[in-house]
Amino acid sequence: MSPAYQTTPRTTPSRYRERAHYDSYTVHRILDEALFCHLGYVRDGGPVVLPTMHVRCGETLYIHGSTGSGPMLGARPAGLPVCVTATVVDGLVLARSAMHHSLNYRSVVVMGTARVVDEDAEKLCALHALLDHIRPGRAADCRTPNTRELAATAVLALGLVEVSAKVRQGGPVDDPEDRLLPHWAGVIPMSLAAGTPQPADDLDPATPLPQYLTGERRP
Ligand SMILES: Cc1cc2nc3c(=O)[nH]c(=O)nc-3n(C[C@H](O)[C@H](O)[C@H](O)COP(=O)(O)OP(=O)(O)OC[C@H]3O[C@@H](n4cnc5c(N)ncnc54)[C@H](O)[C@@H]3O)c2cc1C
């Protein structure tokens, strides 16, 4: 049994509580499989939610962006209160009734105060991990950021402390009186898959496709 995150009033769903999970195994798997997340924060008194890449290193979630971007500016000097969500969609759930259509999904919500990573070593480590999150092996196969690029890039770190996962799986749950209706019902599985690598127009044709880009795709 993996360790569990402590539940708080903020991480307890009002509905379908039985679908909530707080064990680190479930949470880590979702965060590692999701290609990107949504970062929610308050700017000028109103909510903003931005899609962005992320990576989990142990019990820390890292997010990067331009030093001039909203969340990075907002995080100085005291950190930025955020809510980050990451989602993997596993299927379309088609019910006989309109009401009971749904998605099969695995999602994570993380709340907390994100801090700006100031130390170069941690920043570089997070940036490498972000690349490997996109495609394992990539970080070691590209030019490392130079001083100027590093200075223009900000990294936010968010501890996995106040965390919840929610998982919906299985078929549609129609009301008993609808079960004989003549509409098809069931699940259409969904997954995110990478296609065949397409070389850049200006790629030297002598550059071989690296091993780590062949074979199985994400996750
Ligand atoms: C891809 C996707 C599509 C969805 N579509 C719908 C939809 O169309 N309509 C709908 O009603 N619901 C939908 N949901 C579920 C939705 O995310 C909420 O769980 C749901 O609205 C019930 O919220 P609540 O009132 O229980 O949550 P609240 O009581 O508002 O939430 C309290 C806390 O519970 C936790 N929590 C709630 N939901 C989640 C979650 N999904 N993942 C992780 N932690 C969670 C969080 O910590 C949150 O702060 C969808 C979920 C996903 C992943």
Residue 164 maps to a domain? yes
Residue with CA closest to ligand 1 atom 27: 13
CATH number for the domain spanning 69: value is 2.30.110.10
pLDDT of residue 203: 98
Written as one string, the DSSP assignment of 40-87 is EEEETTEEEEEEEE-EEETTEEEEEEETTSHHHHHTTTT-EEEEEEEE
> What is the distance between the alpha carbons of residues 82 and 187, in angstroms, rounded to a whole number?
34
Number of domains in the chain: 1
> What is the distance between the alpha carbons of residues 180 and 152, in angstroms, rounded to a whole number?
61
Residue 201 maps to a domain? no
Instruction: Tell me, using a 6 A CB cutoff, whether residue 26 lines ligand 1.
Output: no
Candidate of 89, 93, 109 to mutate for ligand 1, largest count of ligand atoms within 8 Å of Cβ: 109
Q: How far is CA 211 from the centre of its chain?
A: 25
Residue 1 maps to a domain? no
pLDDT of residue 217: 54
Residue with CA closest to ligand 1 atom 3: 103
Cite the DSSP H helix spans in the chain: 24-33, 70-74, 120-134, 147-152
- What band does 218 get if pLDDT is binned at 50, 70 and 90? low
- What band does 2 get if pLDDT is binned at 50, 70 and 90? confident
Instruction: Tell me, using a 6 A CB cutoff, whether residue 92 lines ligand 1.
Output: no
Residue recorded with tokens 């690598």: 197
Residue 68 maps to a domain? yes
> Phi then psi for 25, rounded to 5 degrees?
-60, -50
Instruction: Tell me, using a 6 A CB cutoff, whether residue 43 lines ligand 1.
Output: no
